[in-house]
Structure 1
Amino acid sequence: MKFYSTKNKLLRVSLKEAVLTGMPPDHGLYMPETVPTLTPEFLKRVPDLPFQELAFELARYFVDGEISDDKLIDLVSDAFPFDAPLVPLSDHIYALELFHGPTLAFKDFGARFMSRLMALFTQNLSKELKILVATSGDTGSAVANGFFNVPGIRVYVLYPAGKVSEIQEKQMATLGKNVIALKVHGVFDDCQALVKKALADKKLRESFVISSANSINIARLIPQIFYYFYAWAQLPETKRDKLVMSVPSGNFGNLTAGLIAKQMGLPVDRFVDAANRNDVVPEYLQTARFNPRPSVQTISSAMDVGNPSNFDRILDLYGHSHKAMIRDIWGKAYSDEETRDKIRETIENTGYLCDPHGAVGLLGLQEYLEHVDNTATGIFLETAHPAKFKPVVEEIIGKEISLPERLSECLEKPLLSVPMENDYEAFFGVVTRNE
């Protein structure tokens, strides 16, 4: 399969080039030249496939001969030694738990798949590959851990100072070795702007092999498609016919992957774009006007994005048709107070503890089911373990929650991050410095 730029559909590159460059030279985003169409026979098999086998079958459509089946099977097996269980909260609402990977967040799926794909693609490179990634929270820890000690690859993680949780910071800034954590004086959008500028810098590209591990990289999106099919497959057969999936959304890579899954043939009636106060996409869905603006800090910090880059991919999927988009996506934004209330209410009524991001997803799902279609089955994505937001969650529910062992271990380690001004020349100097 070839991949084109959202700014130039005549441009065609291989998966290897799309993954290793991260972003086209015209500053667009790579998209598959065709969305694979799954046969009814394949969909009938999906409920019987273990996650790793399902991931392999779906990945083959995008790898398309660039990696042998044997290597792809090994890659998928190594990337996904964990599950994504579907947990019922009621007879028609389910949580898809995506936090059972090493860093307890959904971004483990994308980061681990991408790191192993890049390792395969760079086996014969004479230069070190430099990975640049901006994060509002979970991306950084997932990428840092996914690429840690991978030979021939150095990772630069940019995160906004004071705007990620202590656990998120510890997970990405205590590793050292080939992982350089940069604490930027700014917000996530500033970090993302620095990464985008570096990826487009001809001087850097002439001297180094540079790519991105943000969801602007197509290698992050591809594995996220897999768990949407897996979620559907875990539903009771009688609940699969009319399905709504609610996605807590920040930079919109996760929702983009779900929309691609739908176009491939996944039987989803509609998606809910559940946002926090950073509501530029729900606003667009209601008004057909896209008005990016500086992000606002919330308790669902991984979603604090004011100018989501993956929205360009969604526009591309729908031919920039607002009318077509709103047939598939319903959006709503929620305040921190509503999020707190939902966490508290859910554990009191069901015993299930949401993290702040999953709670936003549940808010969107329940409102959709109540006001739009009360006959559907709903799945919301629970994207991070609540312990990753321990102080916030404990304050909400009024009691202590235990830390998984892997989180408590990283909290004991010293921070190795490097403070950095929101300045491109400073970033350029760090990336070009001889370690």
Structure 2
Amino acid sequence: MKYISTRGNIAPVGFKDAVMMGLATDGGLLLPERFPVIDDGTLSAWRSLPYRELAFQVISRFVDDIPAADLKNLIDKSYDSFAHEEITPVVAKNGVHILELFHGPTLAFKDVALQLLGNLFEYLLKESGRKMNIVGATSGDTGSAAIYGVRGKENINIFILHPYGKTSPIQARQMTTVLDANVFNIAVNGTFDDCQNIVKDLFNDLPFKEQYALGAVNSINWARVLAQVVYYFYAWFRVTDSQESPVVFSVPTGNFGDIFAGYVAKRMGLPIAKLLLATNENNILTRFINDGDYSKGSVVQTVSPSMDIQVASNFERYLYYLFDESPARVRECFSQFAATGRMTFTAEELERVRKDFASRSVNEEETLETIAAFHLETSYILDPHTAVGVKAAQDCAAGSTVVCLATAHPAKFAEAVEKATGNRPPLPGSLEGIEQLPTRCEVMPADRATIQNYVAEKAL
């Protein structure tokens, strides 16, 4: 299996090189040359597999340059840190199925991929004798999951940028209370998009990227998306009893990475009726799907901060397929966006989008009302991101078999839950006492040069 760039200007590379490259050297995103197609017989054989074994079966279809035994060991090791034996259990509540993705060490769905990515990095660096300086941006959950994935590992330093004061307090503390010598937290006076743009600029500076061996943990890294494909299969098996059972997946998303993993699963042959893209007030993706309007706006701060994003970095991967795998069309589209702040699409392209996707934007009032009503009816506590997905499902997928992705534990957003229900959610053991722990973090302006100099100073 080889990997190519959405922008078409690199020679195909293997999986190991794709993991280490992160962002393609031509500025594009890496994708497999083809999607392995899973037939009905294989789906039937996979139905009863436990999560770790299913993960190996899915991921190994995309990896042919790591020995199978090594890959299986990496996967098994990655999920040893999860608190639930099923890794990503599904619970039925009030007519929807909740796919709980928050049983990892930082209580967010990012753990599913970043525990594996951290182990992959360690394995590949040991094999090659190289060192790596990871640079990433986070709107809340990626940062802590990435830090927990590589903290204390040899030959790796990690630099995480987050928007100062714009994550939840728990999210910030999960990052800044990690005091391992290889962890560097940077709080940026700006938005998540500022953080993401700085990271992309650093990766696009090829001499700097090569000199300091930059590695990517954001969902621009293909391994992140690949690991997330697994739980679409796992959830589908838990809520169906035959191959003729299409399912709607409701996915709260801002960066398009999590829902793109669902698109990959659909392309592989998983019977997904529709991917329901749920956004908060930062609704550029909803406007694209419903109105053909992909135009940059201002970031609105909400109670679901991990979705407070305007420019969705993984959207480029989907556009590659929407444009019939034409790198030239992708390059043209992003040149237009850089110049005008918007992209334009044909009527035929938008018709194709709506065959795979539906979308609903859920505002803050609706989010809090959904948390309150769902708790009243079921005693189940939704975090605000999951509530966005549940509300979208209630409005857009009534009568269908629906799986809503629960992307974070409600205790990470205690203030929003308390505002909605009148009570703070109970703290899981991993968060007890976190507010009293010492922290380490550098506050910096949203300035590429300042941050680039800091990375250069602290890099391995």
- Taking structure 2 as the reference length, what is the TM-score of the superposition? 0.90
Q: Aligned match of 1:221 in 214, 218, 225? A: 225
> Are residues 1:247 and 2:275 paired?
no
Which stretches in structure 1 are left out of the alignment for 5+ residues? none
> Are residues 1:387 and 2:386 paired?
no
**Quick check: 2:40–2:243 contact (8 Å CA) kept in 1?**
no
**Quick check: 1:189–1:294 contact (8 Å CA) kept in 2?**
no
When structure 1 is superposed on structure 2, of 295-304 and 16-25 the one drifting more is 16-25
Q: Secondary structure of 1:67's match? A: coil
Q: Distance in 2 between matches of 1:315 and 1:242?
A: 24
Q: Distance in 2 between matches of 1:430 and 1:207?
A: 14
Equivalent positions of 1:257-276 (< 5 A) are 257-276=261-280
1:13 aligns to what? 13
Q: Secondary structure of 1:62's match? A: coil
**Quick check: 1:294–1:307 contact (8 Å CA) kept in 2?**
no
1:172 aligns to what? 175
1:38 aligns to what? 38
The 1:411/1:203 distance shift into structure 2, 3 A limit, reads same
When structure 1 is superposed on structure 2, of 392-401 and 317-326 the one drifting more is 317-326
Letter in 2 for 1:30: L
> Are residues 1:49 and 2:49 paired?
yes
Shift of 1:191: 0.3
Q: Distance in 2 between matches of 1:239 and 1:274?
A: 26
Q: Distance in 2 between matches of 1:306 and 1:351?
A: 33
Q: Aligned match of 1:184 in 185, 188, 208? A: 188
> Are residues 1:107 and 2:110 paired?
yes
Q: Distance in 2 between matches of 1:71 and 1:127?
A: 19
Q: Aligned match of 2:297 in 283, 290, 293? A: 293
1:137 aligns to what? 140
> Are residues 1:401 and 2:425 paired?
yes
2:2 aligns to what? 2
Letter in 2 for 1:17: D
Shift of 1:306: 0.4
**Quick check: 2:389–2:404 contact (8 Å CA) kept in 1?**
yes
Percent identity reads 36
Q: Secondary structure of 2:311's match? A: coil
Shift of 1:405: 1.1
The 1:428/1:355 distance shift into structure 2, 3 A limit, reads same
The 1:34/1:9 distance shift into structure 2, 3 A limit, reads farther
Q: Secondary structure of 1:195's match? A: helix
> Are residues 1:207 and 2:211 paired?
yes
The 1:133/1:27 distance shift into structure 2, 3 A limit, reads same
What are the superposed Cα offsets for residues 188-239 of structure 1, whole Å, 9 maximum, x if unpaired?
Answer: 0000011001111133134221111000111111100000000011114169
What are the superposed Cα offsets for residues 92-151 of structure 1, whole Å, 9 maximum, x if unpaired?
Answer: 411000000100000001111111111111114454201011000000010011111111
Q: Aligned match of 1:345 in 373, 378, 403? A: 373
The 1:10/1:203 distance shift into structure 2, 3 A limit, reads closer
Q: Distance in 1 between matches of 2:244 and 2:171?
A: 35
2:402 aligns to what? 378
Letter in 2 for 1:404: P
1:80 aligns to what? 79
Shift of 1:240: 6.6
**Quick check: 2:381–2:425 contact (8 Å CA) kept in 1?**
no
Q: Secondary structure of 1:8's match? A: coil
Q: Distance in 1 between matches of 2:186 and 2:428?
A: 26
Q: Distance in 2 between matches of 1:270 and 1:427?
A: 41
The 1:412/1:240 distance shift into structure 2, 3 A limit, reads farther
Shift of 1:85: 0.6
Q: Aligned match of 1:278 in 282, 297, 309? A: 282
1:363 aligns to what? 391
> Are residues 1:97 and 2:100 paired?
yes
1:24 aligns to what? 24
Q: Secondary structure of 2:38's match? A: coil
Q: Distance in 2 between matches of 1:98 and 1:351?
A: 19
2:343 aligns to what? none
Q: Distance in 2 between matches of 1:78 and 1:206?
A: 30
Shift of 1:165: 0.9
Q: Distance in 2 between matches of 1:432 and 1:349?
A: 53
Q: Secondary structure of 2:295's match? A: coil
Shift of 1:159: 0.1
Q: Distance in 2 between matches of 1:263 and 1:101?
A: 27
Q: Aligned match of 1:330 in 347, 355, 358? A: 358
Q: Secondary structure of 1:430's match? A: helix
Shift of 1:170: 0.9
**Quick check: 2:10–2:25 contact (8 Å CA) kept in 1?**
no
Q: Distance in 2 between matches of 1:238 and 1:265?
A: 14
Q: Distance in 1 between matches of 2:359 and 2:240?
A: 27
2:66 aligns to what? 67
**Quick check: 1:239–1:377 contact (8 Å CA) kept in 2?**
no
Q: Distance in 1 between matches of 2:316 and 2:32?
A: 14
The 1:291/1:185 distance shift into structure 2, 3 A limit, reads same
Q: Secondary structure of 1:229's match? A: helix
Q: Distance in 1 between matches of 2:393 and 2:11?
A: 38
Q: Secondary structure of 2:270's match? A: coil
Letter in 2 for 1:59: I
Q: Distance in 1 between matches of 2:298 and 2:32?
A: 30
When structure 1 is superposed on structure 2, of 70-79 and 319-328 the one drifting more is 319-328
The 1:181/1:23 distance shift into structure 2, 3 A limit, reads same
What are the superposed Cα offsets for residues 30-75 of structure 1, whole Å, 9 maximum, x if unpaired?
Answer: 11110110121110022210000000011111112x1111111110
Q: Distance in 1 between matches of 2:58 and 2:382?
A: 29
Q: Distance in 2 between matches of 1:126 and 1:208?
A: 15
